[in-house]
A and B are shown apart, each in its own frame.
Chain A
């Protein structure tokens, strides 16, 4: 582009005339200036001409010559009269006329005429003759002695004669002057005419240039308009393209979300099968391969979970749902759970909550837990030795920033260099390649955590140096809530009396979900029937009655919505059964669809025990009535008592209750943070725990997930129900294994037992049960095998129980 000053011009013209209009404009501008200058010159010339004219017209030359001639004739007349009639008055008249005559001579003096006329041939000669006449006449006409007398007729005749002699040359001169002036006037007129023509020509030229200028400007404006129009069109296309791209991106994210959701189910199956394989007799080589395969599977599953969150994040559906959260309880739960993990690795986990941190605040507790699990998990993962610390404090409002809650996770681990820090929150980046190889992980967790923190009005800050450990600080907007003076007691999660027990139909295609729901409901004292899809459920309802249906929405064969419609089409009373949707889809649209299909309510996954209790209370009227008439006095011991509530003032920040595992360090601001060594606060079975044994027996991640769902206390309740000294579940299985019992019952009992223990993360025990379930499916078990199986299960049960007691999931 040659003319950066006028890029629009060049661009509008395209590549053919890169400098066309711009150069033309400059040229026309220059010529216009020249034309103006020319017009100005012509005008000034015309003015000069006019001024010349004025000055020489000051006294008309021709008129002067005429006057001189007239005065000459008048003088001759009075001289003639005097010669004929000599008298004094006549002489006086001659004298007056003579003076006038002389005064006219000066008018034809060359100094006046020369400015206008070139020298006239006769002028000097005539002037000389006139002056000679004056010289001759002056003495004659002088008054007094020297002058002639009136009677001197001869003198007057002589003067007349002389004047006659002058007449001819004077007339000729007058004619010459007349002609010369005429010539002069003609020349001047011609000059004026020429200048007028020039001026007209210049004006026409100027007009043409102005016209050309205007045309070019018009063209430019039109080109600009067109360009503007094209740009607008382009912008519109871009917007459409962007909308398309966003649509595609959303579709992709939704696809990813669905896929990862769908993939989790087979993965669970795969992992279960691997565990089962592990329980069979294997060579060392095979066992190692199996361990690798299982580890890979677990890794994939973790990756899948992260992808699910990321997809949700990308499709813009990641949401936080703030509610009143018991923050101290939440921190307490997280610390207790992660303390188990840290301990498995030999790391102490310190937890400090500053006194000014409110007991209750408004936040999304589940998401907050997710962030803390991620950060603490990382800290534990990347810390080979030393300690991990969780500190909660309030950042006061400062500099326009609002008051915030700061949760700081610090470790003494490997730390990160600046380059690693810079790409820490980038997707799929995790330290450097070697770290990734060494520690595994997807690197998605931090991004999700940060997105969540930002959704909660805060962020995550990182401070780290290689070898110095890392410090992650999560800040979220601190929304204080007035702690309700009389907090409504949470719905009792204690088992209801058998008389009140409800029959609940759970329909879910996911075995783990089924097991969990079964565990929860059975723990609550209800009877449960399980179905794997909607068709099965509808079929079961034709034959049986129940008090409540919990229905997954997305299922194979027949989904929850279709099943509900089918149920509502059944003959009464089956059609009146309350149906509650179970779904991970927490959108209003999904809720609306569920209600339209005839469902009564909506429980979002992961399910929380209190929500289930509440739903049962609402839809099974006799439960609500019983609750009202017999309050909590009859609650069994399975409901853990809350610790002493921290009151206002400098009370210890974390309530130390019997529920807190003793190895969890608890600090108070009054004393310096201290690490309590794992000293049992209550008598515990002396059990030697191998390094890594806890992780081998217990699926800590699954337990963490359950705890996220039902809380640590909830989990403890569930576990206590399952692992009671005399466990009904185990007893049922052992009865089936009795040599006297029907061999066909073994498989069902083993399956049921396996589902229950697996859903609570007791993976080794579940694997054992599953192995026998499979074995019994292949061929009826011999008596010896039954005994072997019963022994294995009893041993596994006891060991699991001991481990759970040891780490605090079970209370002695």
Chain B
């Protein structure tokens, strides 16, 4: 358990207590209030739906946010990406597996090792240039590696792991 995670989770718990504690038992993971944008299944400890964890944008925005600009193969210029670190998201659901299977809206599937999230600040981007990403522009969620920080990342291996239009992560 990453120690830096302690404070944000406490904040999440406090918010949950203020908003919904009166009529629902306290849970480690809130139920999504808005439209579900990400589901996480597989080997996870925290669930808020049947056998899986569901997130809406607000829940993701409530996690600690991380930003960086990087060039990518998909845009002619460098873009700024903002969102929670993937490892924070995995921590929020108590993921225990070694690999992640990311599934996009068009059923694109790619496997990436959990190790990547520990070694690099991999971001689950929800904002591009501080704007929410629509589906037609690779939204709503985009796994982004910090390509500009390490030459090793500028290869087909990591470009292919950068799943966009992400909708589901299966922890295996």
Contacts and interface: CB of A to CB of B under 8 A. Distances in A.
Contacts of A54: 154-156
Interface in A363-382: none
A77 interface: no
A112 B76 CA distance: 8
Interface in A59-89: 59, 67, 71
A106 B133 CA distance: 14
Contact of B106 (A55, A57, A59, A67): A67
The contact size tier of chain A is: 10 to 19
Given A100-B135, A103-B137, A106-B137, A59 B73 contact: yes
B165 interface: yes
Contacts of B106: 67, 71, 100
Contacts of B156: 54, 57-58
B24 interface: no
Contacts of A71: 106
Interface in B127-154: 134-138, 154
Which of the listed residues B135, B137, B159 has the most CB atoms from chain A within 10 Å of its own CB?
Answer: B135
A96 B139 CA distance: 12
Given A58-B159, A71-B106, A96-B105, A103 B73 contact: no
A782 interface: no
Contacts of B73: 55, 58-59, 112
A59 B161 CA distance: 11
B165 A100 contact: yes
Contacts of B23: none
A102 B137 CA distance: 8
A111 B76 contact: yes
Nearest to A58: B73
Contacts of B76: 111
A247 B134 CA distance: 115
Nearest to B134: A99
Nearest to B104: A100
Interface string B73-89: 11010000000000000
Which secondary structure dominates where chain B touches chain A?
A: loop
Contacts of A55: 73
Contacts of B134: 99
Given A67-B106, A71-B106, A99 B74 contact: no
Nearest to B160: A59
B137 A59 contact: no
Interface string A101-145: 011001000011000000000000000000000000000000000
Interface in A495-509: none
B136 A99 contact: yes
A179 B105 CA distance: 29
Contacts of A103: 135-138, 165
A55 B71 CA distance: 12
B109 to A, nearest CB: 13
A226 B113 CA distance: 69
B35 to A, nearest CB: 12
A102 B154 contact: no
B135 A99 contact: yes
Contacts of A58: 73-74, 156, 159
Nearest to B108: A67
Which residue, A59, A111, A112, has most C-beta atoms of chain B within 10 A? Answer: A59
Nearest to A71: B106
A59 B135 contact: no
A57 B156 CA distance: 7
Contacts of B136: 99-100, 102-103, 106
B161 to A, nearest CB: 12
B142 to A, nearest CB: 11
A15 B165 CA distance: 84
A290 B134 CA distance: 150
Nearest to B155: A54
Contacts of B74: 58-59, 112
A55 to B, nearest CB: 7
B135 A96 contact: yes
Interface in B103-127: 105-106
A112 B73 CA distance: 8
Nearest to B157: A54
A380 to B, nearest CB: 106
B123 to A, nearest CB: 19
A102 B138 CA distance: 10
Contacts of B105: 96, 100
Nearest to B136: A102
B159 A59 contact: yes
Nearest to B139: A103
A134 to B, nearest CB: 9
A71 B135 CA distance: 13
Contacts of A59: 73-74, 159
Interface in A206-243: none
Interface in A414-433: none
Contacts of B137: 103, 106
A103 B73 CA distance: 15
A67 B107 CA distance: 11
A55 B156 CA distance: 8
Contacts of B154: 54
Nearest to A57: B156
A103 B104 CA distance: 12
Contacts of A111: 76
Nearest to A111: B76
A574 to B, nearest CB: 121
A131 to B, nearest CB: 12
A736 B105 CA distance: 167
Interface in B42-98: 73-74, 76
Contacts of A99: 134-136
B120 to A, nearest CB: 18
A111 B76 CA distance: 7
A99 B140 CA distance: 11
A175 to B, nearest CB: 22
Contacts of B155: 54
Nearest to B164: A103
Nearest to B74: A59
Nearest to A107: B74
Nearest to B138: A103
A391 to B, nearest CB: 98
A58 B106 CA distance: 19
A58 B153 CA distance: 12
Contacts of A112: 73-74
Nearest to A59: B73
A67 B164 CA distance: 14
A111 B106 CA distance: 24
Contacts of A96: 105, 135
A100 B139 CA distance: 10
Nearest to A67: B106
Nearest to A109: B76
A57 B137 CA distance: 20
A71 B155 CA distance: 27
A55 B151 CA distance: 12
A217 B165 CA distance: 68
Interface string A33-67: 00000000000000000000011011100000001
8 contacts: A58-B74, A58-B159, A59-B74, A100-B136, A102-B135, A103-B137, A106-B136, A106-B137
Given A96-B105, A102-B135, A112-B74, 16 more contacts: A55-B73, A57-B156, A58-B74, A58-B156, A59-B74, A59-B159, A67-B106, A71-B106, A99-B134, A100-B105, A100-B135, A100-B136, A100-B165, A102-B136, A106-B136, A111-B76
Interface of A: 54-55, 57-59, 67, 71, 96, 99-100, 102-103, 106, 111-112
Interface of B: 73-74, 76, 105-106, 134-138, 154-156, 159, 165
Q: Which 9 A-B pairs have the closest CB atoms?
A: A58-B73, A99-B135, A102-B136, A103-B136, A58-B159, A99-B136, A100-B106, A57-B156, A111-B76
